Structure 1
Amino acid sequence: MTGDRQGNLKNDEAERMFEAVFKENFKNLYAFAYTIVKDDSTAKEIVQQSFTNLWQKREKLQSTESLIRYLYKSVYHTGLNHLKHLKVKAVYKQRYLQNSERLTTASERLQQKEVEQKIAEVYNELPEKSRLIFQLSRYEGLKYAEIARRLHVSEKAVEKHITKVLKIFRQELKDYLPFIFILWIIQ
């Protein structure tokens, strides 16, 4: 026999032995992996990876018993490594969420302060009568008729002042409207 032919026979024999070990042990190895990781697809992946590793190291292992021992050890260690990896991911995810929450809260407070300052600026620049009517309507909750009686003006005049003020606010605060809307919803 030539060297090539002997190599093929060894490969054929290794393939048959590998296939037999696979068929006889896959279910038990899967069950073992599942007890470690508690996830169907992960357990299958771990067993498949263990068999792949076995195939790559097939020349170093001599007996069927050493193959099976190798597979169980491989499944065990790969499963534990998977669990460690999940824990590390969970820790980093938790840290990320905590940090982003702090940043978001700080950012929102900064934006809220900026919006409040801009509203105060716009409010203080309103004409005196419009500012008074707006204050009575929005901050004191009076109806247009009550404001009209109190200030001795028509309801139509009150309505025009409110419309004018709201238009000014919309124009001056257009860049802040999405944030104002969010603040309005969450408060």
Structure 2
Amino acid sequence: MDQISYQKWNNILGWVTFAIALLTYSLTIEPTVSYWDCGEYISTSIKLEVGHPPGAPLFQMLGAFFAMFTTDVTHIAKMVNFMSALASAFTILFLFWTITILTKKIIVKNNEMTLASTIAVFGSGIVGSLAYTFSDSFWFSAVEGEVYAMSSFLMALLFWLGLRWEAEMDNPRGHKWLLLISFVVGL
């Protein structure tokens, strides 16, 4: 399989896992406020207030943005919970791409992609990312308005960006990934 075809299938399958995760989390989302800190995070997001220290300013600003899309104030909690579901689905997307990068490094020798190695790489990505999608603790955090989903998304993004930087660090302008990593760490 040539590199362009591989990259195309990698993107398609990554977005398919994203869609499966988003559909799953959207169908099982908390319609209202759940226990513990969820109520506090949702209420501070609506009015952009400061929650308990150290706070979560990115979560609260994005929560306020998502809350603007409600037509009824009784659906604000559901929209903030949907934001967590969306962040979790993006976590699954970047997890799929991370798994395929790492599996390709292990399996493929001399940059030759056979049909068997392609199936192994994509199969590993699909199985690994969907196993994490349906794991109990991640699913529980994905459907409620808590900071854990956003944190998981940022960590998955950072790990994937680190792998992209490693692949392109010897190229001209290959260090652009470090600038993006620095920006995401600052979030």
TM class by shorter chain equals under 0.3
TM-score (norm 1): 0.26
- The two structures have a TM-score, normalised by structure 2, of 0.26
The one of the two structures with greater contact order (alpha-carbon pairs below 8 A, sep at least 6) is 2
Give 1 or 2 for the bigger CA radius of gyration.
1
